[in-house]
Structure 1
Amino acid sequence: MGNWMNKEKEPPPPMVLVPPLFDFPPLPARTRMLESSYNLLFGKLALKCLFEDYFEEARHFSTRIMLKPLDDPHVDLIATVTGPFDNKHEEKVVGNAQFRWQSDVDDPHTFMDVFVSNSNHVLQMRSCAYYPRYGFGAFGILPLLLNKRESSEDYGLMGFRYGSANLSFGTTLMPFAYEFPKIAWLVSKMGRLTVGVQYEPLYGSTDGQKYKNPMNWSCAIGYGVGSGSPLSPSFNFGLELAQNSQFIASFYQHVVVQRRVKNPIEEKEIVGITNYIDFGFELKTRVDDTKTSNSIPDSIFQVAASWQANKNFLLKGKVGSLSSTVALAFKSWWNPSFTFSISATRDHTVGTTACGFGISVENLREASYQRADPNFVMLTPTKEHLAEGILWKMGERPMLQSDVNAGNFDGIPRELRPLGKIL
């Protein structure tokens, strides 16, 4: 009894702090069943977030409120207001709101939302139903009120799709138009390789059969590694020939690194913190003989990178042939969370620099500050590695590694799990 009382306690195991990603899952992932899979794969969704999020338009502001009631998590509301600092060019302040109902809290693929705005689409309703057991889904977009209806698309869209882990195909059509389809796509995944083709009849043909015009076809091939969770590194490289006139090469990489914690507030067993680093580039160049205006360059190249140091600070920057932008975002993880961002844009064509600001309030994504145990485990869990300083020898990587590399996502919040196994 006495020996048991006097027995020394085992020191707590070393742990690495795992902060939640600023915005995961991304908001466009909630409505991806309304889009062509071709437009979202090949790293396109990740690059869109990297090149656009927190890069506010110069001399403009944006505010966004994203809230859901505590009593009913199946519904939420997103309201945004954007506009210029001044009204020299008589720009209109745009405000809109979206009310959404989602059938399953953990599955965003079956939903209905109502969109209101002071712009052209005054009132619009969208709906999607997807059945994971069979892989089939149907969706529709119905503009109820418009300032004017000029095309068949203004009277509504509907579509059908099939999605599995390795295959996706579908079509979107306009019920009140004689032309079919508006978009049709086929995407297949074979291991780490993804190939796809999309038909969009934007251009006519000499014999009236638009599918014979190569300008209406796009094809892409991509190579990707990673699970899709922010806790796992990922790598995507894609090549695309869009409308037989534009060649697009893109690359995106998400890196998960650990660095030593130098914070006296943390406990002694906290030896490190996880950081997220994202990098991507995109090259767009024309491959046909079509002449464009002087204001539109034939080739556009841009590079972007972001670094999330902890749960509160995010630094981003992008450099392009037309402009360069740097952005800093601060996030407080209250309930609801509060995010403030500021960006500075340098216009290379006129040689001016201007700033933009953004404010966001949200409680949709409920990610919390996570510890390494049980999400992170020791590579070699021996008594030797419990000693302070052993884990951080000069020039060596930390001896802590995530078990999500083996596909184990059961012990982490759903916000940090992969987006899903639907291609």
Structure 2
Amino acid sequence: MGAFMSVPDQSSPPHPPKVVLVPPLFQRDVRGLSRFCRSSYDYLGNRKQLTRLLRDHLSPELRGMLLLSPPDDPRVSVRAKMRQAGGSMVLRWEPSSAASLHTFIEMAANLDSPGDVSLRGSYLHSGSGLGAFMVAPLARDVSGEAAQVGVRYSSTNATAGAIVIPRRGDLSKIWLAGRLHGLTLGLQLSPELPVRQALSALIHPTKLLAIQAKASTENSSGGGSGANENVAVPTKNTGNGSNSGGGRGGSNLTELRSWLRSHASMLLAYSPSPRPGAVGAPFTASVEVKEGGALTFSFFQHVAATRQVVNPFEEDEVVGITNYLDIGLQLTTAMSPTNAGGDIGDIPNLIRPSRPATSTASCTSGSNSISPTAPGTTAAGSKACLVPGSSSRDVDLASNSTTARPATIDLAVSWQINKNWLLKARVGNQSAAAAVGARVWHAVSAYLTASILVDYAHIAQPK
């Protein structure tokens, strides 16, 4: 038998494949689970991404963030945001199983308002899409917030849910949204009514007038005294004074439309199908009619572009890096003219009782005093009074009806150069801002941003 001898291959080893770096998102700290404790309507049409693009890191102050997720137990994460005027902190626990991706319990604290400490939890069954959540304030006597309980249904093309306030038995929000062939249509109603009455009004909208009138009668006949005593405000006649015939029916329909305009929001958005291999849609264009009659046009686009790079700190096979470019445009204007004379007659009559327009009253916090003022005006330094059968939202509308809401337009751009650096800029018809941020990625992830803001009203004093 002969002997075989192997001859080593004299050719050069193969070159390693070329590599393009794909850095993590600068602001993607942890999975956005907190959204499952809120209305899904607020996240339609990439509006949250657009809001972060227009606002985050662009305040005239230094900001910092720490994110800690111990490797010994990845179910626990801590996120803290710090700035000159305050900050926030979230301590979260979430199961590690793949079947519980949207289940968590967290404790959140915010320094923006005293007593803003809450316990939040969410559970979502991945198979059926049904879920429940709750938000329980831990310092209710200080913050004045009430506990909320919600139910939801979520799927690829539809979502629906409701939020109730058990303490008062009120239906706070109800929403419904669907998506078909790139079009998304969403509707949200904030009735702030007892659950049974709100559901009856949703089934028979014409009953809403009687429900509001009954609530007004009960509140006014209940009497009572104190700083929060309800005081009626003048109304404006919209008809001929007759309570019969088609005139009354037309007035009721007008009041119903006014109430819906003050408590309902509707959004229509379009997003084309994502390209093969892409994470999301290339852009989103939307139009929204908000509560109170504000009309908002929005456009948001996220671009992931690859550029060549020569970095002496990287390996030789690294030939490129992915950059993230976000572009956002938002225009907001009022659909209905504001009554410059200060008349609050634009507030629907169905959310307040009728009273002769000869005099009105103003409340002052901490006392029971009632001082007469001229019709359509409010005493200086006083707060708007709650009207029987109305909510704080209606008071806000009444107090803001004397000031015009100017139209605003803002254009913002952010450029993430790599995993460590972020550049942002925003320009609008009221102000302009720019920011730069740096981030480190270790066991404790942290970033620091600095920004400058120029207010056109005080253009000589940039912040």
State the Cα deviation string for residues 215-242 of structure 1 (Å, max 9, x = none): 2221111111466998666211111111
How far apart, in 1, do the equivalents of 2:280 and 2:64 lie? 31
Deviation at 1:288, TM superposition (A): 0.8
Alignment coverage as a number of residue pairs: 339
How far apart, in 1, do the equivalents of 2:460 and 2:401 lie? 23
Correspondence for 2:139 = 145
* Alignment of 1:111 onto 2:104: yes
Q: Is the 8 A contact 1:198 1:217 kept in 2?
A: yes
Q: Is the 8 A contact 2:66 2:447 kept in 1?
A: no
- SS of alignment partner, residue 16 of structure 2: coil
Residue in structure 2 matching 1:248, options 284, 296, 303? 296
Residue in structure 2 matching 1:323, options 417, 420, 431? 431
How far apart, in 2, do the equivalents of 1:211 and 1:110 lie? 39
How far apart, in 2, do the equivalents of 1:148 and 1:8 lie? 74
- SS of alignment partner, residue 437 of structure 2: strand
Structure having the higher Rg = 2
State the Cα deviation string for residues 266-295 of structure 1 (Å, max 9, x = none): 344322211111101111110012346797
How far apart, in 1, do the equivalents of 2:418 and 2:48 lie? 23
- SS of alignment partner, residue 43 of structure 1: helix
Please identify which structure carries the higher helix content. 2
Correspondence for 1:185 = 175
Residue in structure 1 matching 2:93, options 95, 101, 106? 101
Please identify which structure carries the higher strand content. 1
Superposition pairs of residues 365-384 of structure 1, within 5 angstroms? none
* Alignment of 1:224 onto 2:271: yes
Q: Is the 8 A contact 2:452 2:462 kept in 1?
A: yes
* Alignment of 1:348 onto 2:456: yes
Q: Is the 8 A contact 1:167 1:189 kept in 2?
A: yes
Structure 1 pair 341–80 and aligned structure 2 pair: CA distance change class (3 A): closer
121-130 or 341-350, which deviates more: 121-130
- SS of alignment partner, residue 243 of structure 1: coil
State the Cα deviation string for residues 234-256 of structure 1 (Å, max 9, x = none): 21111111126111110110111
- SS of alignment partner, residue 109 of structure 1: coil
Q: Is the 8 A contact 1:80 1:97 kept in 2?
A: yes
- SS of alignment partner, residue 52 of structure 2: helix
Amino acid at match of 1:221: L
How far apart, in 2, do the equivalents of 1:81 and 1:44 lie? 24
Superposition pairs of residues 25-174 of structure 1, within 5 angstroms? 29-55=32-58, 57-58=59-60, 60-84=61-85, 94=86, 96-104=88-96, 108-116=101-109, 119-148=113-142, 150=144, 154-174=145-165
Structure 1 pair 115–282 and aligned structure 2 pair: CA distance change class (3 A): same
RMSD (CA atoms): 2.9
How far apart, in 2, do the equivalents of 1:114 and 1:97 lie? 8
Q: Is the 8 A contact 2:64 2:447 kept in 1?
A: no
Structure 1 pair 114–24 and aligned structure 2 pair: CA distance change class (3 A): closer
Correspondence for 2:411 = 303
Amino acid at match of 1:6: Q
Amino acid at match of 2:124: Y
How far apart, in 2, do the equivalents of 1:52 and 1:42 lie? 17
Deviation at 1:23, TM superposition (A): 2.0
Structure 1 pair 97–295 and aligned structure 2 pair: CA distance change class (3 A): same
Structure 1 pair 232–144 and aligned structure 2 pair: CA distance change class (3 A): closer
How far apart, in 2, do the equivalents of 1:232 and 1:140 lie? 29
Q: Is the 8 A contact 1:169 1:186 kept in 2?
A: yes
Q: Is the 8 A contact 2:264 2:290 kept in 1?
A: yes
Deviation at 1:65, TM superposition (A): 2.7
How far apart, in 2, do the equivalents of 1:160 and 1:274 lie? 39
- SS of alignment partner, residue 289 of structure 1: coil
Correspondence for 1:196 = 186
Structure 1 pair 227–327 and aligned structure 2 pair: CA distance change class (3 A): same
Q: Is the 8 A contact 2:67 2:445 kept in 1?
A: no
Q: Is the 8 A contact 2:66 2:446 kept in 1?
A: no
Q: Is the 8 A contact 1:345 1:353 kept in 2?
A: no
Deviation at 1:193, TM superposition (A): 1.4
- SS of alignment partner, residue 139 of structure 2: strand
Structure 1 pair 233–169 and aligned structure 2 pair: CA distance change class (3 A): closer
How far apart, in 2, do the equivalents of 1:95 and 1:338 lie? 15
Correspondence for 1:261 = 309
For structure 1, the residue ranges without an aligned partner over 5 or more in a row are: 85-93, 356-423
Q: Is the 8 A contact 2:20 2:321 kept in 1?
A: yes
How far apart, in 2, do the equivalents of 1:288 and 1:182 lie? 25
How far apart, in 2, do the equivalents of 1:295 and 1:343 lie? 31
Deviation at 1:54, TM superposition (A): 1.8
- SS of alignment partner, residue 194 of structure 1: strand
Amino acid at match of 1:224: S
Deviation at 1:184, TM superposition (A): 0.4
Residue in structure 1 matching 2:26, options 22, 26, 48? 22
How far apart, in 2, do the equivalents of 1:306 and 1:117 lie? 27
Correspondence for 1:385 = none
Correspondence for 1:410 = none
- SS of alignment partner, residue 166 of structure 2: coil
Deviation at 1:114, TM superposition (A): 2.0
